[in-house]
């Protein structure tokens, strides 16, 4: 290795280290955002607290919407780091960074060092990937494991002439598929399986199926994935129908979860999620690094990755249930296509122009127009607190764009500065959200409740959530709460154990006969004093406010 090459590798290594530092910096600074972050943190906390690692529970009720791998990972993190914001996010954030490194490794093996380096930078600095990598949701975990599987599959097929290497890569792929299944269910098989079918029909690479090591692979897959499904079904006979029929078939084919969006919804998600690399992302889709005319019988890694990315996008586009994170699995595969394209380009200016335009839009809107257009009262009231962070993001986006012009003859440097500025800008938005966290987090309320309980000198104070469920509240309290007149996503669990739930009629005498109790109401319920026949308007009704914000009021029985 020449001194110049050694220096180049050293600079790239330093950039990767800096990216990792920014990625994990202040991981626990922002409070958990409801509903997802609070929900998945609480399930993990209850697993750790109860010692039951088979049956997931949310606020004490059975919760079978998703398998347990992320809950296990988060519970282990909490056992080591404590029940903190950072511990709740370590699993997602760690897997997200690992998958980005994996994209770099696979890209280097397939297309060369520059392509792998660019694939890594693309991964860690797009809005959707970096954003979901710092949120405690299931999308990043399943996306990372699916991509590890697809990357290992691609590497295996490039090693068909070396049976041992091919087998090892394929066994890794099968283990990762099992992990994906334990993370979010059957899409751990559906997405790769559909991709392989479409790819072989197009490429006519029928030999691919002979090199999947189906016998050993399925055995490994079942050894890893099956034990929990057997154990939870044995402990909870109601699980199979709810999980496989309701959570898979009905979710995909009906509006049972109320997440219906237009079939064009994910085009908008993609456009925003690919920022500030939108030009490169579109280029990777419409100008992939392969010929549109297939060469029958030849394995084509880029074609397989492209089919996977496109299949993920359209699979969820036709689903009746849509959320932004659903198309996240396509991004690591797209990163490899982008990385190969970028390695062949002389300049990196178009994405810089996109970043400059994006920065300009942010400046114009949030400096001059935001107060006039923020129609939601609570958001308008909090916007001044968030504005400095948004402006910092705009400055970083502009810096990223300008760097592509300043360093237009030094592509590696331009891409490195662009990616680091983009990542830091996305992190600024995440950290800045803490300034308005009370809009979507219950930490402050939990602290007020804990302070009241400590002052009362009683540890067995009952806490009632009335006609609502604040997802992060149990996690921050370190205990479950009692739901009154609310079911929501806990409807299935409540039906299994109805004695843990209260109706309006059940609640009132318990409140009146309590020495100490705390109730949580939204502003509307509190203002409409005689709502649902609660006698709030009676002078002798025992309550006083102990905490209040723009979302809810916590009252104590006095």
What pLDDT was estimated at residue 2? 63
- Indicate if the pLDDT at residue 533 is higher than 80: no
- Indicate if the pLDDT at residue 537 is higher than 50: no
What pLDDT was estimated at residue 159? 94
What pLDDT was estimated at residue 360? 81
Tell me the pLDDT tens digit for each residue of 319-340: 877 899 999 999 999 999 999 9
What pLDDT was estimated at residue 4? 60
| Residues forming beta bridges with residue 520, ordered by sequence position | 465, 554
From the list 498, 464, 353, 347, the residue with the least C-alpha distance to 413 is 347
Q: Within 13 Å and on the Cβ side, how many CA atoms surround 556? A: 16
Tell me how far apart the alpha carbons of residues 124 and 442 are, in angstroms, rounded to a whole number: 29
Q: Calculate the CA dihedral of residues 307, 313, 319, 322 and round it to 10 degrees.
A: 160
The bridge status of strand 462-466 relative to strand 544-548 is unpaired
* Burial (Cβ within 10 Å: 0-12, 13-18, ≥19) of residue 439: middle
From the list 80, 90, 76, the residue with the least C-alpha distance to 44 is 76
What pLDDT was estimated at residue 6? 63
- Give Cα separations from 539 to 77, 136, 507, 544, 552 (angstroms): 48, 44, 19, 12, 22
**Average per-residue pLDDT in the chain?**
89
What single-letter DSSP state applies at residue 207?
G
**Quick check: 61 and 486 in contact, CB under 8 A?**
no
What pLDDT was estimated at residue 439? 85
Of 26-35, 59-68, 469-478, 533-542, the range with the lowest mean pLDDT is 533-542
From the list 51, 96, 94, 136, the residue with the least C-alpha distance to 475 is 136
- Indicate if the pLDDT at residue 171 is higher than 50: yes
| Residues forming beta bridges with residue 484, ordered by sequence position | 466, 502
Tell me how far apart the alpha carbons of residues 374 and 536 are, in angstroms, rounded to a whole number: 33
**Quick check: 48 and 82 in contact, CB under 8 A?**
no
**What's the rounded mean pLDDT across residues 215-235?**
97
pLDDT band at 165 (very low <50, low <70, confident <90, very high): very high
**Quick check: 396 and 422 in contact, CB under 8 A?**
yes
Tell me the pLDDT tens digit for each residue of 172-189: 999 999 999 999 999 999
What pLDDT was estimated at residue 1? 56
**Quick check: 170 and 217 in contact, CB under 8 A?**
yes
What pLDDT was estimated at residue 252? 58
What pLDDT was estimated at residue 263? 79
Residue 330, sorted as left (phi over 0), alpha (psi -120 to 50) or beta, turns out to be alpha
* Burial (Cβ within 10 Å: 0-12, 13-18, ≥19) of residue 228: middle
- Indicate if the pLDDT at residue 250 is higher than 80: no
DSSP per-residue letters across 332-355: HHHHHHHHHHHHH-S---HHHHHH
Tell me how far apart the alpha carbons of residues 88 and 82 are, in angstroms, rounded to a whole number: 9
Sheet holding 552-556, edge to edge: 482-484, 462-466, 517-522, 552-556, 544-548
Higher pLDDT among residues 366 and 70, named by residue = 70
Q: What percent of the chain has pLDDT over 70?
A: 90
pLDDT band at 369 (very low <50, low <70, confident <90, very high): low
From the list 325, 319, 313, the residue with the least C-alpha distance to 247 is 319
**What's the rounded mean pLDDT across residues 33-57?**
97
Handedness of CA 357, 361, 362, 367 (dihedral sign): positive
């Amino acid at each position: 290795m020449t001194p110049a090459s050694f220096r180049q590798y050293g600079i790239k290594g330093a950039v990767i280290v800096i990216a990792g530092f920014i990625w994990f910096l202040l991981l626990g600074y922002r409070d958990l955002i409801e509903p997802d972050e609070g929900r998945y943190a609480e399930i993990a906390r209850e697993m750790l607290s109860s010692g039951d690692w088979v049956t997931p529970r949310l606020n004490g009720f059975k919760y079978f919407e998703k398998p347990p791998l992320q809950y296990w990972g988060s519970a282990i993190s909490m056992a080591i780091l404590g029940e903190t914001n950072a511990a709740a996010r370590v699993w997602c954030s760690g897997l997200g960074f690992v998958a980005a490194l994996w994209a770099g490794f696979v890209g280097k093996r397939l297309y060369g060092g520059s392509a792998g380096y660019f694939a890594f930078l693309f991964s860690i600095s797009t809005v959707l990937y970096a954003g979901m990598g710092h949120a405690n949701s299931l999308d990043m975990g399943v996306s990372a494991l699916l991509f590890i599987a697809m990357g290992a599959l691609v590497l295996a097929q490039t090693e068909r002439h070396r049976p041992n290497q091919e087998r090892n890569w394929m066994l890794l792929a099968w283990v990762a598929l099992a992990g994906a299944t334990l993370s979010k269910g059957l899409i751990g098989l559906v997405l790769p399986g559909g991709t392989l079918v479409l790819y072989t029909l197009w490429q006519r690479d029928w030999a691919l199926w002979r090199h999947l090591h189906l016998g050993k692979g399925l055995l490994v897959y079942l050894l890893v994935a099956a034990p929990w499904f057997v154990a939870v079904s044995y402990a909870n006979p109601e699980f199979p129908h709810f999980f496989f029929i309701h959570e898979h078939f009905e979710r995909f084919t009906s509006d049972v979860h109320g997440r219906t969006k237009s079939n064009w919804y994910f085009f908008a998600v993609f456009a925003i999620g690919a920022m500030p690399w939108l030009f490169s992302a579109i280029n990777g889709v419409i100008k992939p690094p392969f010929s549109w005319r297939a060469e029958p019988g030849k394995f084509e890694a880029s074609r397989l990755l492209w089919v996977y990315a496109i299949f993920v996008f359209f699979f969820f586009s036709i689903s009746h249930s849509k959320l932004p994170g659903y198309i996240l699995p396509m991004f690591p595969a797209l990163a490899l296509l982008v990385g190969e394209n970028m390695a062949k380009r002389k300049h990196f200016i178009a994405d810089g122009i996109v970043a400059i335009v994006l920065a300009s839009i942010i400046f114009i809107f949030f400096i001059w127009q935001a107060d006039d257009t923020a129609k939601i009262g609570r958001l308008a009231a909090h916007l001044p607190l968030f504005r400095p962070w948004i402006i910092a993001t705009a400055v970083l986006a502009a810096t990223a764009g300008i760097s592509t012009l300043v360093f237009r003859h030094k592509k590696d440097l331009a891409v490195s500065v662009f990616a680091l500025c983009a990542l830091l800008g996305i992190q600024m938005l995440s950290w800045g959200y803490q300034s308005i966290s009370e809009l979507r987090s219950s930490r402050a309320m939990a602290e007020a409740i804990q302070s009241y309980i400590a002052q009362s000198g009683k540890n067995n104070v009952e806490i009632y959530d009335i006609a609502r469920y604040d997802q992060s509240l149990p996690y921050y309290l370190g205990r479950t709460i009692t739901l009154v007149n609310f079911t929501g996503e806990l409807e299935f669990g409540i039906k299994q154990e109805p004695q843990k739930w209260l109706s309006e009629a059940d609640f009132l005498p318990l409140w009146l006969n309590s020495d100490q109790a705390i109730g949580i109401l939204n502003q509307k319920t509190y203002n409409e004093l005689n709502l649902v026949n609660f006698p709030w308007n009676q002078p002798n009704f025992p309550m006083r406010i102990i905490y209040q914000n723009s979302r809810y009021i916590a009252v104590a029985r006095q």
